[in-house]
């Protein structure tokens, strides 16, 4: 965790810009006893926002869309990780049936896409 000032220095972001990002929900700090702290993931998000604005010229609406997609992908990865753990706890024959089902579904999706 890092304090607000450290976050601003590491992210190279001004106070008013950071507060705007917080107000729009682009960056969501932890708040404890009235103090905001930030995680490494928040730093990565700040860098992504800056790259999108500065390097790619993405406007505010585009950033909202991209951040939403990033959040959804992160959620799906987390869910898939939990699913993988649950599958690994199953007996081998169950794991094999699941793997066969995934391969079959993947094959059908590939056929539909072509």
pTM score: 0.81
Same domain, 95 and 109: yes
Same domain, 35 and 7: yes
State which of 58, 73, 94 marks the end of a domain.
Answer: 58
pLDDT in tens, 30-88: 999 889 999 999 999 999 999 999 999 999 999 999 999 999 999 999 999 999 999 99
The predicted pLDDT at position 80 comes to 97
**DSSP character string of 45-113:** HHHHHHIIIIIT---HHHHHHHHHHHHHHHHHHHHHHHHHHHHHTS-HHHHHHHHHHHHHHHHHHHHHH
Same domain, 4 and 51: yes
Same domain, 45 and 67: no
The predicted pLDDT at position 3 comes to 96
CATH number at residue 20: 1.10.1660
Q: Provide the domain limits for residue 52.
A: 1-58
Residue 7 per-residue DSSP state: H
Same domain, 6 and 20: yes
């Amino acid at each position: 965790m890092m304090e607000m000032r450290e976050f601003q220095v590491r992210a190279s972001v001004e106070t008013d810009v950071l507060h705007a990002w917080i107000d729009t929900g682009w960056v969501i700090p932890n708040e404890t006893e009235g103090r905001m702290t930030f995680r490494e993931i928040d730093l990565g998000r700040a860098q992504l926002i800056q790259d999108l604005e500065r390097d790619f010229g993405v406007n505010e609406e585009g950033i909202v869309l991209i951040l939403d997609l990033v959040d959804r992908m992160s959620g799906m990865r987390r869910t898939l990780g939990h699913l993988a753990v649950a599958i690994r706890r199953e007996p081998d024959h169950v794991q094999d049936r699941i793997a066969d089902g995934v391969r079959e579904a993947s094959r059908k999706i590939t056929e539909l896409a072509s």
